[in-house]
Every structure is written in C-alpha cells, then in structure tokens.
Amino acid sequence: MDIVELLTQREFLIAVLAAISVAAVVVTFGQSLIVKQDMRVRVKRVALERDRMRAEEMARLRGKAAVQEERGSFRRSTETKTYMKKAVDRLDLKKAFQDDTTVDKLAMAGFRGQGHLTSFLFQRFATPLILFVVAAFYLLLVVPGERPVYLNLVFAVGVGLVGSYLPVIMLKNATQKRQHSIRRAWPDCLDLLLLCVEAGMSMEHAFKRVAREIGQQSAELAEELTLTTAELSFLEDRTRAYENLGRRTGLDNVKSVMTALIQADRYGTSVGQALRVMAEEGRETRMMDAEKKAAALPPKLTVPLILFFLPVLFIVIMAPAIIKVMSNGMMG
C-alpha cells in the first residue's frame, strides 16, 4: 500500500488522534506523580550532600588523618560500585574527558558527587561507540543500498563523532533549564531574604525559611538554598558557603549578591542594606528583561502574520465578491 494512501485513510487518522489523546491523558495524570518523585529525589540528594559536609567538617576537627578516613568511608557508603566505575578506572577516562571545569559544570546542572561524575565520563566514552555500532548495523545490514561498504562505515563513524557531543549537549541543556528556573525565582528570593533579615533572623534561618517558601516556585533554587544553609552551619568560614552558592548556580546576578554578602560580612556593614540594594537591582533587571521581550515581539509576529493571518483576511474580504462574480457569470 502506498504510504500517501495510508496517511490519508480515515481509520489511520482516527487511530493517530486516539493515540495522541491517550498519551495526553497519561501525561496529564502522571505529571503530578513525576513531580512528587522528582521532589523526593531532590530531598534525598540534599540530605546526602548535607551528611557529606557534616562528615568532612567533623573529620576536619579531628585531624587530617581522620579527614581521609571519613571521606573514604562516606564515599564507600554512598557510591555504588558498578560497571561504569570499573570502566572509568580501568580505562582511565578521567584523564581523557575530565578537566578543571567538569565538576563545576555538573554542579550547575544539579549533579553532585562522584557517582554523577563517573556516569558522565562513562557516557562520554560509551555513547559514540553505541551510536557507531547502531549506525553501522543499520547502514550495512538493514539498508545497505548500492553504496560501497567503506562509505557506509564513514557514515557510521560520522554518526559516532556526532554522538560524542551528545552527553555535553544534554548537560548543557540541563544546566540552562536549571539556571532559567533559578533566574526566574531569584528576585522573589531576594525580597524574601530581605524581609527575613529585617525581621531579625540570622542568615542561616533566613536561608532556611526562604528555601521552604520558594520551593513551590523553583525546586532547584530551594535545593541550592538548603545546601547553603547546611554549609553556613558546618563550615567555619561563611564566605565559602556564599562562594559555593555562586559557583553552583553559575549566574552573574547570584554571584553579585553573594559578593555583596561577603563584603558585608567582612567589613561589618549592614546586610539588610546590601540585600535591599540588590533586590531593587533584581526587580529593575526583571523589568528590563520583560521590556526587552515585549520589544522583540513585533518582529517575531511578522512571519506568522504573513503566513496565517493575511491569507485568511484576504479570503474573508474577497470571497463574497468572487462568489458573486462567479454566480453572475454562470447566470449570464
């Protein structure tokens, strides 16, 4: 049967629409469960990170020898030794794929710990090989065509090379999605922090309270604030906690606020005044972003206007005249 004839059959179109409707219903009812599961995973991740910082800080107080012992025991208790870890260790993938910014990039995407680093390095190694094997099998056995074998292998190698960038692209997309969520909720977070500080709360209690309130708007920002609260409680130097928050988010506006808090803590200036200034700047920045999007809307509407609105408008205006002319011509 011809593919065009199949696509134009009424039974096929009804089946496709029914499948789309069922998928939409499943996604609609399952989205709440997915969100709950994601929040549960985030809470567990924050708890593990808090336990790690507590163990490292307690080990630091006991001595350097205990630091290594506590780190090793904690990692052995939290990491799962799988085939990925064995492959990374045997093939020494850290030298091949890891650089000074890999850990920071994973942290910006919300992936912390040695387990996520091991998984990322294994994906960098395995994804090109898997795509090469799949492409070679498809081109050589499924659709060989009239192309020579070496040309099919060249195409398969090209697919493998493109696949080597797939984990990096996925990591970048996850980072952008997370940063967008944090950036959108950050001005409200600053306003809440300012209210808590002016009400007499300490920075630890302010971060803890804001993390509880901001979770409905941005779970990612609530997670980062919870980790900052734990670091403020465990770390001896408060500036490290502020710097870690700016480093984990990778956003300039967050880093500027953390720099202001570090300077206020170092020189003894008013934290509330610093937060008030940064909150005003955040609101102005959000307003400027909204105005920028509004100014960019007319050029974006030009193409849809030409393709969809103008033809319908011409049809509505000219259709009665055309119908009248055709009816008069037929009568004549």
Instruction: Verify that 280 and 223 share a domain, yes or no.
Output: yes
pTM (2 d.p.): 0.67
Q: What backbone phi and psi angles, to 5 degrees, belong to 79? A: -90, 145
Domain assignment of residue 130, given as a range: 79-164
Better-scored residue on pLDDT, 77 or 221: 221
- Residue 140: pLDDT band by 50, 70, 90 thresholds? confident
Instruction: Verify that 11 and 29 share a domain, yes or no.
Output: yes
Q: Does residue 65 belong to any structural domain of this protein? A: yes
Q: What is the pLDDT of residue 80?
A: 44
What is the rounded average pLDDT of the residues 64-83? 47
Q: Does residue 331 belong to any structural domain of this protein? A: no
What is the rounded average pLDDT of the residues 86-103? 82
- Residue 41: pLDDT band by 50, 70, 90 thresholds? low
- CA 264 to each of CA 259, 268, 312: distance values in angstroms, whole numbers, following the listed order: 9, 5, 61
Instruction: Verify that 241 and 179 share a domain, yes or no.
Output: yes
Q: Where are the alpha helices (DSSP H) in the chain?
A: 3-7, 10-62, 64-78, 83-91, 93-97, 102-108, 114-137, 149-163, 166-198, 203-214, 219-234, 238-249, 252-267, 271-295, 297-304, 310-331
Residue 214: CB atoms within 10 A of its CB come to: 22
Mean predicted lDDT score pLDDT of the chain: 79
Write the pLDDT tens digit of every residue in 155-211: 888 888 888 889 899 999 999 999 998 988 888 888 899 888 888 888 888 888 888
Write the pLDDT tens digit of every residue in 244-270: 888 888 888 889 889 988 888 888 888
Q: Does residue 298 belong to any structural domain of this protein? A: no
- Nearest residue to 135 via CA among 156, 116, 150, 163: 156
Residue 235: CB atoms within 10 A of its CB come to: 16
